[in-house]
Amino acid sequence: MTIDVPTSHRSLPQLQPVSFIGADGQPTDVPTDGLRIPSDRTLLGLYQKMVQVRRFEAQVTHLTRQGRLATYPSAAGQEAIEVGATTALAPGDWLFPTYRDSASLLTRGVPVTEILSAFRGDWHCGFDPNEYHTSPAATPLATQTLHATGYAMAAKLKGEDACTLTFLGDGASSEGDTHEAFNFASVWQTPTVFVLANNQYAISTPLREQSNATMLADRAAGYGMPGLRVDGNDIAAVFAAVTAALERARNGEGPTLIECLTYRMESHTNSDDPTKYRDAEEVEHWKQFDPIDRLEKHLRTAGVLDDASAAEITASAEELATSVRDAMNTDAEVDPSELFAYVYANPRANLATQQEKLEAELATAAQS
Amino acid sequence: MTVTAATTAEDVPTPVSVTMTKALNQALRDSLSEDENVLVFGEDVGRLGGVFRVTEGLRKEFGPERVWDSPLAESGIVGTAIGMAMAGMRPVVEMQFDAYAYPAFEQIVSHVAKMRNRTKGKVSLPLTIRIPYAGDIGGVEHHSDSSEAYWCSTPGLTVVTPSNPADAYSLLRESIASEDPVIFMEPKSRYWMKDELSLPVQTAPMDRAQVVRVGSDVTLLAYGPTVRTALAAAEEGAEHGLSIEVIDLRSLSPFDDETVSASVRKTSRAAIIHEAAQFGGYGAEVAARVTEANFTHLSAPILRITGFDVPYPSPKLEEYFLPTAERILDALESWDWEL
């Protein structure tokens, strides 16, 4: 006699990451896991956004080195994930980003000065989450995965159409909150897409010291959720996978985990020293998988991009860079009194007393 | 807050015996009835009605889409409640026991407490985190912690604790209706305490302390489980000619300076009583701020009568750990009463 157990379909993701456009810009023969390549028209739009995002990351990193920002975690090299996943969202969906996802905020339409508010040293997230349907970027790792799950649960309970998408990294995949979010989302069948940008490093710790799993996407199976792995530097694959996952979510079929294989081309932040934990050859090796170069080759071959239109796209990215420089060349205006304004909805006497003291100090300082 | 007050004589229900558990249960029921955005979830709160039966019958009455059992993970419970609150819901979640709230510490401190501030007031989190706390129930280890100091030292949180059934009802209704997130601490040892009352009841506003016994010689500051202990000490003190005033703080954060200072200026002596350990505890803040505001009115240093600075003990030892009426009166004797 054996113990009765429920039997249900269970499958592990295919080992080879789904990839439509190879590093050489040519079509691959990798099994597509049921996904369809986006149209060249869609890909051209994604290309334009990636060029913008890369210029943005380079400009902000440069300004950070000049001391204009307190710190900046760049997503250079991960543009396909940032742009591909974010673009797949409907306007009514909610995005739950992390500190490395400024590019997704840019893609979502958040103005530059608002994106960079916290990195410039201000005390708030900079933008109105309700206006952009985007949560403030989470710094405590993996915590946002639960917010995305909860938001999606509320949408489901209210019978609303909204899905949620959250980014996390290979480092965050070790956090307990990640596991709790995968489990809650799957048990509750929430319309949530987990986009795991596996960029090989958590600051300095390499993936092999982070996880002994064959691949991080395998974890989905343990939670009864579909998981798949895509080439995170092929935006066609990222966009197709996220679009399909959102469609499933919208149809009431629950959450999906998408592991996107990529590489963090920059240091963790400007205060990091990657020479201590990885060699230049490794970074060089990954350059050949660049997401923008390969898409450019593909689009040129397809005849939807030529020198003139490429130059226009570059020029528009330069305009963005100029606007970033202009915005960051003035010091952020900060009002110390605002420290007290938003802590509580219900006013507090002890905060009012402290605010009065601070304002008196400021008045004295202004007089001397 | 919209607690409906009875207006006519025939509307006034006859007072009945109500436990704190029943009062909390009714507060949840009334909140669920009045606002469709109120949700109740947590570990075993659905079918079982919670390990203390505070949520008994609610799943049956409101359905599993309003009241349900979540997976067993406290960070997950609070983290998903945050997302729901962002979507306009008013989640009321239960941490099964005090010490089991610790896995949710990061979500509470880094997000629940800060979301409103970091979004410049654009995103409030109107969620209520119910935490059964404190000891005196013969609980095994990790079942009797008093965690209030952790929450009170976190800006952005509101922390309240009832000491009696009427406040349990009124404070929970007001917490659920609050735009600010509330840590609602329920004294386990008082769950079965009964009072004659008719629900709904609206007691003092949730940010105010209450003088629950008037006296002229000493002010005892207590909250949650220690209010009853302080009242017992006052009763016993009266037999020895000591007139003790007892204040039920009710709201630990914010602290009602006005009510406390008025009492201390009258009596010139005060002691704070709690179960939690003394060092770095809530009593230290109370002693400091009450002294700062009333130093010249005080005849003696403010005393702290608390649990020892040791882990909460086993059931066989908790009687030696907990503040008692005798220990309170002994402590008061340590003052120089000639001053």
pLDDT tens digits for B91-125? Answer: 999 999 999 999 999 999 999 999 999 999 999 99
Residue A180's closest chain B neighbor by CA?
B76
Residue A338's closest chain B neighbor by CA?
B120
Are B290 and B261 in contact, with CB atoms under 8 Å apart? yes
Report yes or no: A225 at the B interface, CB cutoff 8 Å: no
Question: Does B178 sit within 8 Å of A146, measured CB to CB?
Answer: no
Whether pLDDT at B74 is above 50: yes
A residues 314-343 closer than 8 Å to B (CB): 338, 341-343
Return the domain boundaries, chain A. 40-334, 335-368
pLDDT tens digits for B271-322? Answer: 999 999 999 999 999 999 999 999 999 999 999 999 999 999 999 999 999 9
Closest of B86, B91, B78 to residue B119, by C-alpha: B86
Question: Does B82 sit within 8 Å of A146, measured CB to CB?
Answer: yes
For A345, the closest of B76, B180, B255 (CB atoms) is B180
pLDDT tens digits for B133-155? Answer: 999 999 999 999 999 999 999 99
Question: Does A343 sit within 8 Å of B117, measured CB to CB?
Answer: yes
Whether pLDDT at B3 is above 60: no
Determine the Cα–Cα distance for residues B45 and B67; give it in Å rounded to an integer. 8
Question: Does B122 sit within 8 Å of A129, measured CB to CB?
Answer: yes
In chain B, what residues touch A158 (CB-CB under 8 Å)?
87-88
Task: Give the CA distances from residue A317 to residues A66, A300, A328, B68, in Å, rounded to whole numbers and listed in that order.
Answer: 21, 19, 17, 50
Question: Does A184 sit within 8 Å of B111, measured CB to CB?
Answer: no
Q: Which pLDDT score, from 0 to 100, does residue B6 have?
A: 47
Active site residue A264: yes
Closest of A101, A97, A105, A164 to residue A132, by C-alpha: A105
Q: Whole-number mean pLDDT of chain A?
A: 95
Question: Does A180 sit within 8 Å of B122, measured CB to CB?
Answer: no
Report yes or no: A346 at the B interface, CB cutoff 8 Å: yes
In chain A, what residues touch B120 (CB-CB under 8 Å)?
124-125, 128, 338, 341-342
Determine the Cα–Cα distance for residues A113 and A320; give it in Å rounded to an integer. 12
**Within 13 Å of residue A79, how many CA atoms lie on the same side as its CB?**
23
Are A135 and A86 in contact, with CB atoms under 8 Å apart? no
Active site residue A285: no
Q: Which pLDDT score, from 0 to 100, does residue A342 have?
A: 97
Pairing of strands A201-202, A205-206: antiparallel
Report yes or no: A176 at the B interface, CB cutoff 8 Å: yes
pLDDT tens digits for A171-187? Answer: 999 999 999 999 999 99
In chain A, what residues touch B206 (CB-CB under 8 Å)?
none
Across A267-271, A363-367, B101-105, the highest mean pLDDT is recorded for B101-105
Query: B193 CA to chain A: closest CA distance, Å?
Result: 31
User: Angle at the Cα of A67 (from A66 to A72), degrees rounded to 5?
Assistant: 100
Q: Which of A62, A132, A277, A300 is catalytic?
A: A277
Q: Which pLDDT score, from 0 to 100, does residue B204 have?
A: 97
Active site residue A268: yes
Whether pLDDT at B9 is above 60: no
Determine the Cα–Cα distance for residues A256 and B331; give it in Å rounded to an integer. 61
Pairing of strands B210-213, B244-248: antiparallel
Burial status of residue A77 (CB atoms within 10 A of its CB: 0-12, 13-18, 19 or more): buried
CATH of A40-334, one of 3.40.50.300, 3.40.50.620, 3.90.1150.10, 3.40.50.970: 3.40.50.970
Residue B156's closest chain A neighbor by CA?
A343
Beta strands in A6-121 (DSSP E): 94-96
Whether pLDDT at B7 is above 70: no
Determine the Cα–Cα distance for residues A240 and A88; give it in Å rounded to an integer. 8
Question: What's the sign of the alpha-carbon dihedral A76, A78, A84, A89?
Answer: negative
Whether pLDDT at A225 is above 50: yes
A residues 155-174 closer than 8 Å to B (CB): 155, 157-158, 162, 164
In order of their start, the domains of chain B are 15-197 (3.40.50.970), 210-333 (3.40.50.920)
HEC secondary structure over chain B: CCCCCCCCHHHCCCCEEEEHHHHHHHHHHHHHHHCCCEEEEECCCCCCCCCCCCCCCHHHHHCCCCEEECCCCHHHHHHHHHHHHHCCCEEEEECCCHHHHHHHHHHHHHHHCCHHHHCCCCCCCCCEEEEEECCCCCCCCCCCCCCHHHHHCCCCCEEECCCCHHHHHHHHHHHHHCCCCEEEEEEHHHCCCEEEECCCCCCCCCCCCEEEECCCCEEEEECCCHHHHHHHHHHHHHHCCCCEEEEECCEEECCCHHHHHHHHHHHCCEEEEEEEECCCCHHHHHHHHHHHHHHHHCCCCCEEEEECCCCCCCCCCHHHHCCCHHHHHHHHHCCCCCC
Q: Which pLDDT score, from 0 to 100, does residue A101 have?
A: 97
Q: Whole-number mean pLDDT of chain B?
A: 95
Tokens standing for residue A248: 């499933």
For B254, the closest of A130, A181, A348 (CB atoms) is A348
Averaged pLDDT for residues A329-358: 92
Are B84 and B91 in contact, with CB atoms under 8 Å apart? yes
The size of the A-B interface in CB pairs under 8 A is 145
The reply to whether the predicted model has a pTM over 0.90 is yes
Query: B24 CA to chain A: closest CA distance, Å?
Result: 23
Please name the helix (run of DSSP H) or strand (run of DSSP E) that holds residue A307, with its range, or none: helix A307-328
Phi, psi of B68, rounded to the nearest 5 degrees: -150, 160
Averaged pLDDT for residues B49-69: 98
Q: Which of B111, B143, B240, B297 is catalytic?
A: B143
Question: Does B158 sit within 8 Å of A346, measured CB to CB?
Answer: yes
Q: Which pLDDT score, from 0 to 100, does residue B1 have?
A: 45
A residues 234-253 closer than 8 Å to B (CB): none
Residue with tokens 């009875």: B6
Determine the Cα–Cα distance for residues B56 and B53; give it in Å rounded to an integer. 5
Query: B217 CA to chain A: closest CA distance, Å?
Result: 28
Q: Which pLDDT score, from 0 to 100, does residue B338 have?
A: 81
For B119, the closest of A124, A140, A350 (CB atoms) is A124
| Chain A interface, best mutation among B100, B110, B116, B118, by max A CB count within 10 A | B118
| Chain A interface, best mutation among B32, B70, B80, B180, by max A CB count within 10 A | B80
For A129, the closest of B80, B119, B180 (CB atoms) is B119
Query: B187 CA to chain A: closest CA distance, Å?
Result: 25
Averaged pLDDT for residues B252-270: 98
Beta strands in chain A (DSSP E): 94-96, 164-169, 192-198, 201-202, 205-206, 227-231, 256-261
User: Angle at the Cα of A273 (from A268 to A278), degrees rounded to 5?
Assistant: 85
Query: A190 CA to chain B: closest CA distance, Å?
Result: 11
